[in-house]
A and B are shown apart, each in its own frame.
Chain A
Amino acid sequence: MSEVTNDLPEATGRRLEELEKGLFTSDLSVNEFLLIKEVGFHPVGFVMGSSIYHTGIQTRKWGQSLELTKLTEAMYNARELAMTRMEEEASELGADGVVGVRLDVNYYEWGKDAAEFIAVGTAVKAEDGVSRRNQLGKPFTSDLSGQDFWTLLQTGYFPQGLVMGTCVYHIAHRGLGQTLGTTGQNVELPNFTQALYEARELAMTRMQDEATQLGATGIVGVRLEEKSHQWGSHTIEFLSLGTAVLKTSNDVTLAKPTTIITLDN
C-alpha cells in the first residue's frame, strides 16, 4: 500500500529528551523486564503512535461480494500512521526495536466514522552497542511479549517487524429465491464461503508481502481478526497480524523443557 511519510506532532520533544538522559519508562511487567535484560537488551522508553482518522464512505451493492478498496485503504493508512509515529519515537530514542506492540482501534462519540488508531510498545536497545535494526535500517517491531521474545531468541531467530494485512470486504446478501430454496436443508452456502475465503486470502497475502519486503523467513504468532467495526453485518474487516522473523544464528540454546505440575490453581 501507499508509503506513509509524516512527522511527529510537535509536543513529543521534551518527553523524549528526558528519556535520553537515562530514565526509562516501560509497560513491561517485571517478568518481561527481567527477560529482556536476560537476552542483553535494556528498555529505553514507552513509545506510542496514534492517529484519529475519519473513514470515508463507499457504496456497496446489496447482492455483490467485493472488496471495499476505499475502506481497506483507510484502515491501512491509519494504522500505518500510528505505527510509523511509534517507530519514529523509537528511532529518536536510538532504540534497536520495539517489543510488546499493541495495535488498537477505539471508537468514541466523535461522530460517525471517526476512530482512534493507536500503537504502543516498549522500545529496547542492545546493551552491547551492536545495532539490531532490521534491513531497512529501522527499529524492529514485534507484538511478542517479553516471554515470547526471550524464547524466540533462544532458538536463533530474531524479529524483523510487525507485519499486517487487511481487507475490508462486503459479502453479498442472498436473494429471496436462494433463501427459500435452502430452507430446511443441510447445505453449504457457497457465496458466503467463497467471499470469506477470498477476503482472508487477500489479508494474509498482503501480510506475507510485507514480510517478504523485510527479508524475513517466517511469521510467528499470526492472529486473524474479523471485525465489522461500525459498518453493519455484511461488511467485515479481515486483519492478519504477526511478527516477521529471520534466522540469524544456528545456535539453539533452548534447554529441554522441564515438565511441572503446579500446586496452585
Chain B
Amino acid sequence: MTNGDVAKSPIDAKAEVRRAVASLAGKAPKTESTTSDLSIDEELNLHSIGWEPVELVSGVSLFSTPVGLWNWGEGEITSASEAHALAFKYAIGRIHREAADAGGHGVVGVHVERRVYSTHIEVSLLGTAVRPVGAKSVEPSNVFVSDLSARDFTLLMVAGWEPLGLATGASFVYAPRRSMGTVLQQQSQNVELKNYTDAMYSSRESAMERMQQVALELKGTGVVGVKVVEGPMSFAAHAVGFAAWGTVVRLVSDAHHFVRPTMVVSLNDSGVAFDAQSLQ
C-alpha cells in the first residue's frame, strides 16, 4: 500500500476497536463445528473418558504499572504484585466466560503466556474448551481452567482426580543495594550475597503462599505441574520477581485409582544418530 492509498481510505482505528470489543461482548454464533488445537490422539483420549472438545477459547488482560515503580524502594513492590494478580484474575475470568458461552465445562491445554515490562504486565491464556459428550452448558463460575494437556487431563480423571482451576501467585521485591565499601570489600571473596538471597526468598515465599491460598479457596487438595519463573527484572536489576502457577486438583472418587503402568520399549527410531552431510 502506498501513502496515497492511506490518504484516500483512512482506517478509522477507533471504530474498528469498538466493533471488535462489541463483538466480544455478544455471544459467539452457534455453529455445529468445533475448533480445537488438540492433536488427533488427544481428542481420542478425551473421547475415551466420554469428553469432547468444543471450542478454542482465550482470555487476555493487560495491566499498567506506575511509572518509575521498579527502581527505588524497600520491601515488596506491591502495585506490581497486585497488577500481576489482577491481570491473571481478569484473563481467567474472560476465558471462563468464553468457555461457558461455547458450552464448555472446562478448558484444558491452556498455554499461559505472561510478560512483565517496565510499564505493564500482560497475561494471555489460550486453550480448548471441553465438556462431557453432549452435556448442557454451565455457569462461567463452574468452568475449570487447567494448563494440563488433554492427555494429562484424561490420566488425572482415570486416576479419580479432577482439576479445579489455575492457581497463580507472584511477588516482586526490591533488593537493597550494597554499599560501595561492601562491594569493594567482597570483590575478591567467596561470599553469599545476603541482600539478594533474602529478597529472592521473600518474593518466592509470598508468591508460593498466594498460589496456595488460591488453591485452598478452590477447595483443592493439591497443585500439580507447578511452573516457576524467577529472577531479577531485565529492566531493573535491583527488583526481583517470582511467579508460580499450576493446576489445582482434588480427589473426587472414594480412593485413588492406581494406574498399573506397563513397561514398554519403543521400537521407533530415537532420531538421527549420525548426519554425514559434513563429510561431503
Interface residues of A, Cβ cutoff 8 Å to B: 9-12, 14-15, 18-19, 22-31, 33-35, 37-38, 43, 46, 48, 50-57, 70, 73-74, 77-78, 81, 106, 108-111, 114, 116, 118, 120, 150-151, 254-262, 264-265
- How far apart are the CA atoms of A115 and B260 in the complex, in Å? 43
Q: Is the CB of B227 within 8 A of A27?
A: yes
- State the CA gap A256–B262 with chains docked (Å): 9
Q: CB distance A15 to B212 under 8 Å? A: yes
- Contacts A11-B198, A43-B222, A258-B262 aside, 7 further interface pairs with beta carbons under 8 A come to A9-B198, A9-B202, A11-B204, A14-B205, A51-B197, A108-B237, A258-B264
B225 close to A (CB within 8 Å): yes
Show 29 A/B contacts (Cβ-Cβ < 8 Å), sorted by A.
A12-B201, A14-B205, A15-B208, A15-B209, A15-B212, A19-B212, A22-B221, A24-B223, A25-B226, A25-B246, A26-B222, A26-B226, A27-B227, A28-B224, A50-B204, A51-B192, A53-B191, A54-B189, A54-B193, A57-B187, A57-B188, A73-B190, A108-B232, A109-B237, A110-B196, A110-B232, A118-B230, A254-B263, A259-B265
Which residues of A sit under 8 angstroms from B191, Cβ to Cβ? 53-54, 56
Interface residues of A: mostly helix, strand, loop or mixed?
Answer: mixed
A73 cross-chain contacts in B, Cβ below 8 A: 190
**Distance to closest chain B CB from A17 (angstroms):** 9
Q: Is the CB of B231 within 8 A of A106?
A: yes
Q: Is the CB of A261 within 8 A of B226?
A: no
Asked if residues A50 and B200 are in contact (CB atoms below 8 Å), the reply is yes
**B265 CB, nearest partner CB in chain A, Å:** 5
Shortest Cβ distance from B184 into chain A, in angstroms? 12
Interface hits, B225-280 → A, CB 8 Å: 225-228, 230-232, 234, 237, 246, 256, 258-268
Q: Using Cβ atoms and an 8 Å threshold, which residues of chain A touch B148?
A: 30
Cβ–Cβ contact B186 & A259, under 8 A? no
Cβ-defined contact, B261 with A35, below 8 A: yes
Question: In this assembly, does B59 line the interface, its C-beta being within 8 Å of a C-beta of chain A?
Answer: no
How far does the alpha carbon of A38 sit from the alpha carbon of B231 in the complex, in Å? 35
Asked if B56 is an interface residue, CB under 8 A from chain A, the answer is no
Query: Among the listed B41, B224, B230, B259, which residue makes an inter-chain contact with A26, where contact means beta carbons less than 8 Å apart?
Result: B224
The count of residues in chain B whose C-beta lies closer than 8 Å to any C-beta of chain A is 60
A18→B237 contact, CB < 8 A: no
For A31, give the chain B residue with the smallest CB separation. B155
Q: Is the CB of B223 within 8 A of A25?
A: yes
CA distance A84 to B227 in the complex (A): 22
| Residue ID in chain B nearest A35 by CB atoms | B261
Q: Is the CB of B232 within 8 A of A34?
A: no
Which residues of B167-220 are within 8 A (CB) of A?
183, 186-193, 196-198, 200-202, 204-206, 208-209, 211-213, 215-216, 220
Indicate whether B159 reaches chain A with its CB closer than 8 angstroms.
Answer: yes
Instruction: List the 3 closest A-B pairs by CB distance, nearest first.
Output: A52-B196, A30-B152, A11-B205
**Is B156 positioned at the interface, with any CB of A under 8 Å from its CB?**
yes
Asked whether B186 lies within 8 Å of A54 as measured between CB atoms, the reply is yes
Chain B residues closer than 8 Å to A52, beta-carbon distance? 192-193, 196-197, 200
Smallest Cβ-Cβ distance to A120: which chain B residue: B228
Q: Measured between C-beta atoms, what is the minimum distance from A13 to chain B in Å?
A: 8
CB atoms of A256 and B263 under 8 A apart: yes
Minimum Cβ distance to chain B for residue A103 (Å): 15
Known: A24-B222, A26-B223, A257-B265. A78 touches B192 (CB 8 A): yes
Residues of B within 8 A of A12 (CB): 201, 205
Chain B contacts for A111, CB-based, 8 A: 183
**Cα separation A59 to B105 with both chains bound (whole Å):** 64
Residues of A within 8 A of B260 (CB): 38
Chain A residues with CB under 8 A of B216 = 18, 23
